[in-house]
Amino acid sequence: MSNKKLYRGSLSTIILKLLGDNGRMYGYEITQKVKVLTEGELQITEGALYPALHKLEGDGYLKVEFEQVNNRMRKYYSLTEDGTTEVASKLSEMEQFIQTMQQLINPKLA
Amino acid sequence: MSNKKLYRGSLSTIILKLLGDNGRMYGYEITQKVKVLTEGELQITEGALYPALHKLEGDGYLKVEFEQVNNRMRKYYSLTEDGTTEVASKLSEMEQFIQTMQQLINPKLA
DNA sequence: TAATATACTTAAGATTCTTGGGTATAGCAA
DNA sequence: TTGCTATACCCAAGAATCTTAAGTATATTA
């Protein structure tokens, strides 16, 4: 989330949405996926990502599985049932936000 | 900005845009205008608004004129030259943000 | 006469980042 | 073989931006 104040508050939405689409992912994978999907626009720093994952887990939205791959540990995250509900909620909040900002920013057409 | 985390970071953009459209406004007027424009979706609290106005003024984007109306003081804010430049910059950041979020959130059509 | 609206200010605390550090393995280049 | 880059995780100090809640004061409405 380097340098872009507007992304504040949207990280948990992004994480939840990606996990909803991809089933399960590990932290590093999420940073890379976001970089590709946004064509480099959005770079999620590890200092932001990992605390966010821990919080979502603590809130009961994510569950964890450890796995050893190439002699390196990975923590795979996936949605809990509550997490699935939360994705839908977060996405509708995001859509509402975008709509509201467009009301404020775009010249009224009516 | 009650209860909506996503609005974090967007307040200065909103203020600058409104002042760009309306020439000059005072704080209380801004809160009311936003409420009307967003049909109640976004309520800017005074605890957020006034510090934000003071910061924008300190950054050189806004200038102030005092005026006495109905025996009550009003502080009218308007854009400086730098402020006018900043509006354009903030608006394009917001458009970029919205576009990026839609890339992340909407199913790819291509 | 008490509540609501108008109008501005500030301070403590919460949340969510950035920045910068740490640990460790693997692979590639000098 | 040595150092850089990539992979993969973690944490803490500080910054930025908000919420909450308080204070000051006048005008209007119930």
**Residue A110 domain-assigned (yes or no):** no
CB of A48 less than 8 A from some CB of B: no
The CATH number of residue B28's host domain is 1.10.10.10
Please report whether residue B110 resides in a domain.
no
For B108, which DSSP code? Answer: P
For the cut 90, the answer to whether the pLDDT of residue A53 exceeds it is yes
Tens-digit pLDDT profile for chain B (110 aa)?
766 889 999 999 999 999 999 999 999 999 999 999 999 999 999 999 999 999 999 999 999 999 999 999 999 999 999 999 999 999 999 999 999 999 999 866 55
Is B61 among the domain residues? yes
Q: Which among B38, B97, B99, B102 is the top mutation candidate for probing chain A, defined by the most A β-carbons within 10 Å of its own β-carbon?
A: B97
pLDDT at residue B2, rounded to an integer: 60
Contacts of B58 (CB under 8 A, 6+ apart): none
Nucleotide nearest to A7 (CA to C1'): C17
Buried b / exposed e along A68-87 (16+ C-beta atoms within 10 A): eeeeeebebbbbeeebeebb
- Tell me the β-bridge partners of A68: A73
Look at B9 and A14 and tell me if their CB atoms are within 8 Å: no
Distance of CA A110 to the CA centre of its chain: 35
What pLDDT, in 10s, does the model give residues A13-39? 999 999 999 999 999 999 999 999 999
Q: How far is CA A30 from CA A18, A53, A75, A97, B12, in A?
A: 8, 11, 12, 23, 30
Count of domains in chain B? 1
User: Read out DSSP for B2-22?
Assistant: TT-GGGTTTHHHHHHHHHHHH
Domain coverage including residue B26: 5-105
Closest CA in chain A for residue B6: A9
B27, B46 Cβ separation under 8 angstroms? yes
